[in-house]
Amino acid sequence: MMYLEAFPEELQGYYRKLFGEDAEVIMQKLREPVEKYYIRVNTLKISRDKLIEKLREERLKPKRSPYLEEGIYFEREGPNFPDDYNPDFPTVVANKYASESVYQGAMLYAPGVLKADRNIRAGDKVQIRDPKGLLVGIGIAKMNAKEMIKATRGIAVEVTLPKFKLPSLSELKSFEKGYFYPQSLPSMVTAKILEPSEDDLIIDMAAAPGGKTTHLSQLMQNRGEIIAIDKSRNRLKKMEETLKRLGVKNVKLIHMDSRNLPELGLKADKILLDAPCTALWVRPKLWEGRTPKDIMATARYQRHFINAAIKSLRKNGTLVY
């Protein structure tokens, strides 16, 4: 029952009330990465079959999604060691975000290190744990302990044995050329449900980092117009880079709080609203501090976005929330 330590008792009770006997399995599965890691083929630049050929050339094992013609997935590897595995190596403690990344195969970078045993030297074999003590991976230190704590960049630990292993894609040539975008299956389905056409004016109310926006663009063959809104300038800057990488040309970025969308005086054919949420279902969830009160507060917050969306739709327009 180790997975129960990841959730506050109040949240456990909430899940049991909602899901009954299935709650235990759900909480256990939330601790694990997805079994199938999806990417979306950027059909503005390449076909699925050609991308699969290129990925195989890069020594990966891509598989075709049976659900979406632009979907490709990779199967997860692991678990690579049991939950009670307790290796006798010096310990590096990583923050929650870094721990969840290491847990599924990423390197541990120095900014993610919270503390490290003083005797650690570069070249030592070390174990990596999250702040609550969960073992997330084993690797080789690339810095000594003091350097790990002080450094603001660079790999602190080269992870050789993560708990689970998902493919590392951002360094691939096919990624750099904009042939694909890492995106979950449900996220891809969302854009398909909206059924965008080449003549539509579409608004994406919480657009960054750009997965759904760029999917809409390729479904529209880079035609029509998409207004992509986000309140974070930094996220919009990164999104602009993504648009260039993927060759997207029919998107206009706007920096604003989408709750104020009616002030623009626009009337869209279709609106996509992936409202700010609790992210309680993002996997893996090594541990969670939110409670049912946070869920209710977020629901109230989301209503403001829904109201703004309704006011900005044309008659007989479509909102996907």
Annotated binding site for S-adenosyl-L-methionine, which residues? 206-212, 230, 257, 274
Nearest-angstrom CA–CA distance, 172 and 191: 26
DSSP characters over 19-51: HTTHHHHHHHHHTS--SEEEEEE-TTT--HHHH
Nearest-angstrom CA–CA distance, 319 and 321: 6
Nearest-CA neighbor of 319 among 277, 268, 283, 279? 268
3-class DSSP state of 277 = coil
Nearest-angstrom CA–CA distance, 142 and 128: 13
H/E stretch holding 317: strand 313-320
Q: Which amino acid is at 77?
A: E
Nearest-CA neighbor of 76 among 47, 114, 44, 103? 103
* CA distances from residue 201 to 220, 313, 314 in whole angstroms, order as listed: 11, 10, 10
Instruction: Report the residue count for the chain.
Output: 321
Binding residue numbers? 206-212, 230, 257, 274
Where would I find the beta strands (DSSP E) of 29-165?
Answer: 36-41, 63-64, 71-75, 91-94, 108-109, 113-116, 125-129, 135-141, 155-162
